[in-house]
Amino acid sequence: MLKIYCIGLYTLLLLSFDVYAGDGDYAVSKIPAELLKKADVVKRMEEIRFEVVDPGKSRLYHKYALTILNENGDRYARLVLDYDKLRAIKSMDGTLYDAQGKKLKEMKKSEIKDLSGTSDISLMDDNRIKVHSFFHRLYPYTIEYESEVQIVGSFFFPAWDPLGNERISVVQSGMTVVAPADFTIRYKAFNYKNEPVIQNEKSSKKYRWEIKNLEALELEYAYPSWDYIAPMVYLAPAKFALEKYEGDMSTWQGLGKFIYSLNSGRDILPENIKLKVHELADRITNPKEKVAVLYRFMQENTRYISIQLGIGGLQPFDANYVATKKYGDCKALSNYMYSLLKEAGIPACYTLVKAGRGATYLREDFPSNQFNHAILCVPLQKDTVWLECTSQTLPAGYLSSFTADRPVLIINENGGKLVRTPSYNIKQNTQVRNIVASVNNEGFLNADIKTTYRAIQQDNLHYLIHDLSKDKQLEYLKKEIELPHYDVVRFEYKEFPSSLPSIDENLEITALNFATVTGKRLFITPNIISRSDLKLKKDETRKYPVSFTYSYTDIDTTTIKVPGGYSPEAIPAPVILDTKFGRYSSAVEVKGDQIHYSRNMEKFSGEFPATDYTELVKFYDQIYKADRYRVVLVKKD
């Protein structure tokens, strides 16, 4: 993954200001009452100062104080600073105060832990972290931290995010940015009405943002992006330097040219791999098939290992390195696949993406380093093939929810250009399920369940199949189904890889007391395992739009054989719901000794105004109830 640096309450990277607290200044009694509502943490003060000394050197200072109101706030009560060849920690200090604002303790150097920042999937990483915590648990208490970090270059800029997360209120937070007068600072503000205070001095220019008395936010169901909710300022340079490289990110094209320069000359393959490319590809005339064959070769002969070294983790290891070592990170593997295709005469584009399920938002009007992952785009004459090069199992042309449906920066010799990765729509993200089951006189259920999952609906199952052992898969299945006292007798999966992949799942399950037997009556819920468990709380004060980024279709058909001698006493009426959020229908029919049940659910994507939330609550509530309707059968005399 690409290495990126950002400011937040988790990775507090910053500052030193002439702001000191005397005894009593941090007394909890001085916090305005409105800032205690819905808060686990109150940020008493924060001062951030980012200085561009010159294009090759920056400084980041940070001083802040947090009052921790309860145990939910403890995760913020520590200082975490990361450092590497491009970042040096110059100082870090801390002080602990009690509820009355009385100083209890100061940080000692012996209490600072110096740890490797390497993750479990990292082979090489020059990143380390220094961590400090007072481990205080007598609430409320206040911690104050101050730090200074020196940064090589002027590529990595912080963001100002006063709130940082939900359930945090702010008494005061400010950010100052200082740069040489001829160094262009770019910024974009969200939910901040004022322009920055700008001061021009002889040789420098100073920008200042400040905010006071922000009440804590509570995130709502299906909330939009954090930028929509919270005050923030994003910062970036125009021209910048990073080690021996220079660039201009005032446009996406310029940022792409910089990345292209980092990759230049790193596509040279060893001779044995060149021969293998021609052996595999020369006999194939269809370019799309060539891409798929070479992609499979790459998957079968390499593996993903995070390697965060060099130029801030932005530059890939060269193709020869990957061919020899047989591993690489997202940058190295994407560059290696690019090199294989180039040798086969197929042009491709190294591509930067902000990856992660739900991370589909990018500030398209603010060119800057907003990316954390690299993939490959192969623009063929009749089609474009997208390749996730870190996966050894995904089929060629399928991106999954990790990188689908979002803006990405494709890079070539002309620079960078924003395009959008494929989205998978409501007709493609399907789950089609057929159940044939029987219930005996004691309410015991036996069911054969055949389900086909397609596109994003199969993503989780795909990783379950490839990442977990059979025993772990069974363990997962035994926790996933909403039935009391059930057992998975048999399960199997069959994958159908393609640019729109699908998986067939076959289950045999049994369940005690599935049907309720009361005297002569048998109570059966015909929706066996497709019941919605989503019930939303009513909220008359909904603030934000409802945002859904994923659409899908579920189709269920179920046949349940019941014991002889029963006749229907009560059958649920058909349910048909047609709303702006989606459509739902279910119906039950009893014929002889069989119950026939059908259910269709279509979930729409889109953004809906906050005023629609009450209707959404009602929609989900109706589905929840309909999914649990029961058929009542009575035994004939």
Q: pLDDT tens digits for 497-521?
A: 999 999 999 999 999 999 999 999 9
pLDDT surpasses 50 at 542: yes
Q: Pick from 414, 368, 158: which is nearest to 251 by CA?
A: 368
Domain boundary among 211, 237, 263: 237
Mean pLDDT confidence for 573-587: 98
Residue 2 lies in a domain: no
Residue 396's pLDDT is 97
pLDDT surpasses 70 at 308: no
DSSP lists the bridge partners of residue 48 as 62, 175
Q: Give the integer Cα–Cα distance in Å for 553 and 601.
A: 6
Same domain, 85 and 193: yes
Average predicted confidence (pLDDT) for the chain: 93
Mean pLDDT confidence for 601-608: 97
Residue 14's pLDDT is 35
Same domain, 290 and 329: yes
The confidence band for 312, taking pLDDT boundaries of 50, 70 and 90, is: low
Residue 307's pLDDT is 73
Same domain, 184 and 263: no
Percent with pLDDT over 70 in the chain? 94
The confidence band for 125, taking pLDDT boundaries of 50, 70 and 90, is: low
Residue 304's pLDDT is 93
Assign 3-class secondary structure to 473-518. Answer: HHHHHHHHCCCCCEEEEEEEEEEECCCCCEEEEEEEEEECCCCEEE
pLDDT surpasses 60 at 118: no
pLDDT surpasses 70 at 321: yes
Residue 221 lies in a domain: yes
Q: Give the integer Cα–Cα distance in Å for 413 and 393.
A: 30
Same domain, 331 and 390: yes
Residue 9's pLDDT is 30
Encoding tokens for residue 537?
């709380």
Q: Give the integer Cα–Cα distance in Å for 309 and 329.
A: 10
pLDDT surpasses 80 at 15: no
The confidence band for 392, taking pLDDT boundaries of 50, 70 and 90, is: very high
Q: Give the integer Cα–Cα distance in Å for 321 and 284.
A: 27
Residue 380's pLDDT is 96
| 596 neighbors 558 (Cβ within 8 angstroms) | yes
Percent with pLDDT over 90 in the chain? 89
Same domain, 481 and 590: yes
Residue 22's pLDDT is 63
Residue 539's pLDDT is 82
Q: Give the integer Cα–Cα distance in Å for 353 and 403.
A: 7
pLDDT surpasses 80 at 16: no
The confidence band for 85, taking pLDDT boundaries of 50, 70 and 90, is: confident
Residue 10 lies in a domain: no
| 594 neighbors 554 (Cβ within 8 angstroms) | no
Domain boundary among 237, 261, 286: 237
Mean pLDDT confidence for 386-395: 97
Which CATH number goes with the domain that contains 41? 2.60.40.3140
The confidence band for 5, taking pLDDT boundaries of 50, 70 and 90, is: very low
Residues 6+ apart with CB under 8 A from 543: 220, 610
DSSP type of residue 313: G
Same domain, 400 and 437: no
Residue 624's pLDDT is 98
43-57, 272-286, 336-350, 481-495: least confident range: 481-495
**Residue 547: which H helix or E strand, with range?**
strand 546-548
Conformation bin of residue 13: beta by default, left when phi > 0, alpha when psi is -120 to 50? alpha
Residue 127's pLDDT is 73
Residue 311's pLDDT is 82
Same domain, 438 and 565: yes
Residue 539 lies in a domain: yes
Distance spanning both ends of the chain, measured CA to CA: 70
Cβ burial, residue 446 (10 Å; 0-12/13-18/19+):
middle
| 379 neighbors 422 (Cβ within 8 angstroms) | no
Q: Give the integer Cα–Cα distance in Å for 428 and 452.
A: 12
pLDDT surpasses 70 at 337: yes
Residue 425 lies in a domain: no
Residue 104 lies in a domain: yes
Query: What distance lies between CA 504 and its chain's CA centroid?
Result: 27
Residue 297's pLDDT is 98
Strands 606-608 and 546-548, bridge-based pairing? antiparallel
Same domain, 161 and 284: no
Which CATH number goes with the domain that contains 606? 2.60.120.1130
Same domain, 478 and 624: yes
| Cβ burial 168-191 (10 Å sphere, 16+ → b, else e) | bbbbbbbbbbbbbeebebebbbbe
Same domain, 367 and 470: no
Which CATH number goes with the domain that contains 300? 3.10.620.30
Number of domains in the chain: 3
Mean pLDDT confidence for 368-397: 96
Own/partner contacts of 603-606, CB < 8 Å, gap of 24 or more, are 603/426, 603/548, 603/550, 603/551, 603/552, 603/553, 604/426, 604/548, 604/551, 604/580, 605/426, 605/548, 605/549, 605/550, 605/551, 606/548, 606/580
Q: Which domain holds residue 485?
A: 430-635
Mean pLDDT confidence for 173-181: 98
Query: What distance lies between CA 370 and its chain's CA centroid?
Result: 14
Domain boundary among 360, 387, 420: 420
Same domain, 456 and 510: yes
Residue 117's pLDDT is 60
Query: What distance lies between CA 330 and its chain's CA centroid?
Result: 16
Q: Is 357 helix (H, G, I), strand (E, B) or coil?
A: coil
The confidence band for 126, taking pLDDT boundaries of 50, 70 and 90, is: low
Residue 492's pLDDT is 97
Residue 1 lies in a domain: no
Q: Pick from 16, 25, 47: which is nearest to 146 by CA?
A: 16
Residue 216 lies in a domain: yes
54-58, 121-125, 168-172, 372-376: least confident range: 121-125
Q: What is the dihedral of CA 4, 9, 12, 15, to 10 degrees?
A: 120
Same domain, 397 and 529: no
What's the full length of the chain, in residues? 637
pLDDT surpasses 70 at 64: yes
